[in-house]
Structures are given as structure tokens and as C-alpha cells.
Amino acid sequence: MSDTCFDDLQTSAAAIEARLGISRREFTQFCATTATTLGLAAGSETAIAQAVQSAKRPSVIWLHYQECTGCSESLLRAEHPTLEKLILDTISLDYHETLMAAAGHQAEAARKSAMAANKGKYVLVVEGAIPTKDNGIYCKVGGHTAMDLVKECAADAAAVIAIGSCASWGGMPSTGPNPTGSSGVAKVLGKPVLSIPGCPPNPYNFLATVVHFLTFGTLPALDSLGRPLFAYGRIVHENCERRAHFDAGRFAMEFGDEGHRKGYCLYKLGCKGPETYANCSTIGFGDVGGSNWPVGCGHPCIGCTEQGIVFTKPIHALANLRSATPPASYPGVVEQQGQTSFAAGAAMAAIAGAAAAATAMLTKNLGKSAAEAPQPKDE
């Protein structure tokens, strides 16, 4: 970063310090981390700092339909208070059914007045699936169906964000036999929307999306399913901290067995990381330190960002392997899970040019039963 950019960023940070109540250091870290998460060019953190400190925050209308409110919970009950504060101070949350004090007619009036005051400029966020069967009568708010409300609110929105797997494609409510005809926002509106799937979605991905909109006035680049590429461009498996074990053919065969306790790969316990696009293995979850995501805690990835995997494919079913080629380098090994020496050794072997051997070992062991698989040894 040039001195000028650095000075600008420091000035911006000083200005926002008072508003957000976070330290300059935390704010500069936030801007730099967000720029990195979004894959932006060097120097973009200055633009982000200037955009976030802007007095005019985008108005957000947040609707809730068929869901558990877990998406809002994950956004607002982050372990680290800075995240919640940044979200609430970066946007103007003008309508949110589970957070606002107003109720009944007052709530409806608040929604309509926020929409009128920010016509064509507000961001519509939808949490939850939308029932479409029998003209949508299975979910009504203020006497109107969810179907009608989402169409009304989307008509004058600058951007529409479907947050969570339910809003993205129907999620849990759409699981067969789907008695209410639950659908995602894009299907109901008949046009693509930005989707941040996950059950729940990662709050950083929502915040980074909003910051991108705030900074550049546009939404980030999307994949064919409407997901931001910065967050859903790679499969979980590529950056998993257990990947070295996968490539070496070392698998946990049962929950609680020695391989499981030693942090071996969870593929044979049904981990869907090899077919799930998400950045959980890169940025973690819940802001509580290392191993703060399902695989890090010893549970297989359930593919919660992917339609047709979570809530559909049994947890014990094996994932389809999109690629068995070991990466050129490996993420850090989680030391508290043990086997640092083994995993590090496997990584070094791959880096040193033994990738082909690792692939061969993996291929060999993938087809073995629990009895045939190599047993972990104390090191």
C-alpha cells in the first residue's frame, strides 16, 4: 500500500473509530480482510474504508418467511461483537420482522415508508423459503402472501439478496414431499438474484457482499447459481485442514475411532466437502478461533450450500469426488487435533513432488472397507 493510500486509510479509520466504537487497528484489519476476501486489487481497502465511513448507509428491507431465523441468529450473535456492530453500522436496517420493535400496522407502515423513501435504492434481503402451492396461502404476513410481498418489495429494490439455503433454493422446507411448494426467491421472482446459501450462511460473506455494493455500487461477480464467486468459487475440500490425510489415504472410519480422534479425513464418514462449493475451510465460521467450522470440530461437511446434497443426500453417503488431485500446497495443520507430524509430513511429501504417490495411496484406500483400511499408529 502506498503512503498516500495508507494515510487516507488511517484518516478514514480515525473518522469511523468514533462512529463504530471499534479501534483503528480493528477497522483497518477489517478493510484489508474484506478486500482480500473479495479478491480485490491492492489498495482497494482504502476505497472500502471511505465507503463504509460514508454517512449514507444503504437501506435494507429484510423479510422472513419459511425458516428458523438461524441466518439472522448467525449474523447477529457472532462471538466477536465487532462483526455484529459492523453489519448493523454498515447498513440501515429499516425493516426486520424479528428485530424491530414495531408490530402489526406499525410494522407494515415502517416497511412501506422505508420502501418509498429509498425507492430504487434499497437492498432487499429475503430469509426463508417461499411457499407457492395453493397460491402461496401457507405463509402470510399482514394478510398478504409471502409470494406477493416478495414481488412487491423486489420491484423497487436496487438489489435482491437471498440469504441462507431456504431463500436460495427452498432449503429444508422444500425437502420432499414439499407439501407447501417451497421455492427460492429467484424462482418466485422469475429472475436471478444474489444468493448466499448455507445453513446458516457465513456472516462474513453477507458483510463482504454488502461492502462490495457499498464501495462499487454493484454486486460482486456471481456463479451460474447466483452465488458470489469470492465465497463459492472453490470446493471446501481444496482448502480443508484435513486434506493432507485425504491425499495420504488416512480416514476416520467411525465416529470416535482412533483416526477420528487424530484428526484424519472424514470422507468415509460422509463428508461432502469434495462436492460442496463454499469458503468455510478458508475463513472458518463463528469468529471463535481455529477449527471453528464443522470439519474442524470433527463433523463431516453436510454440503449445506448445495441444492441436492444437504437435506437430500444421507449424511453417511459418500461424496462424489470432483477431483482427487492433491493441491500444490496445504492449509495449516490443526495442532490441537494431534497428528501434526504426520499431516505436516504428508504435506511436505506432496510439495516435494510425491503428489502422484499420494494420489495412488488415496485411490488405493478409498475402496477399502473399515477392516482393510490402514490403522492409525502412534507417532
Min CB(259)–ligand SF4 separation in Å: 11
Min CB(271)–ligand SF4 separation in Å: 3
- What number of chain residues touch ligand SF4 (CB under 6 A)? 14
- Single out the segment in contact with ligand SF4 by CB under 6 A; choices: 72-80, 199-207, 241-249, 334-342: 241-249
- Residue 267 contacts ligand SF4 per CB under 6 A: yes
**Closest Cα to residue 196, out of 37, 43, 41?**
37
**d(Cα 309, Cα 66) in Å, to the nearest integer?**
19
Under 8 Å between Cβ of 136 and 151: no
**CA pseudo-torsion sign 275, 279, 282, 285:** negative
- Which positions from 197 through 236 interact with ligand SF4, judged by CB under 6 A? 236
User: Which of 38, 240, 309, 349 contacts ligand SF4 by CB under 6 A?
Assistant: 240
- Single out the segment in contact with ligand SF4 by CB under 6 A; choices: 71-79, 80-88, 218-226, 237-245: 237-245
Residue spans of alpha helices (H) in 119-189: 146-155, 164-169, 185-189
Min CB(200)–ligand SF4 separation in Å: 19
- Residue 83 contacts ligand SF4 per CB under 6 A: no
- Residue 296 contacts ligand SF4 per CB under 6 A: no
User: Which of 166, 265, 346, 361 contacts ligand SF4 by CB under 6 A?
Assistant: 265
- Residue 260 contacts ligand SF4 per CB under 6 A: no
- Residue 270 contacts ligand SF4 per CB under 6 A: no
Residue type, 302: I
Q: What is the dihedral of CA 296, 331, 309, 196, to 10 degrees?
A: 90
Q: What are the cell numbers at 237?
A: 475440500
Min CB(265)–ligand SF4 separation in Å: 3
- Residue 27 contacts ligand SF4 per CB under 6 A: no
Residue type, 324: A
**d(Cα 228, Cα 215) in Å, to the nearest integer?**
16
- Residue 274 contacts ligand SF4 per CB under 6 A: yes
Residue spans of alpha helices (H) in 145-251: 146-155, 164-169, 185-189, 203-216, 229-232, 243-248
Helix (H) or strand (E) segment spanning residue 105: helix 104-117
- Single out the segment in contact with ligand SF4 by CB under 6 A; choices: 130-138, 173-181, 264-272, 350-358: 264-272
- Residue 301 contacts ligand SF4 per CB under 6 A: yes
Min CB(205)–ligand SF4 separation in Å: 18
Task: Determine the 3-state secondary structure of 351 from DSSP.
Answer: helix
Question: Any bridge partners for residue 259, and if so which?
Answer: none
**d(Cα 315, Cα 302) in Å, to the nearest integer?**
6
- Single out the segment in contact with ligand SF4 by CB under 6 A; choices: 68-76, 215-223, 267-275, 309-317: 267-275
Residues that bind ligand SF4 (CB under 6 A): 236-237, 240, 242-243, 246, 265-267, 271, 273-274, 295, 301
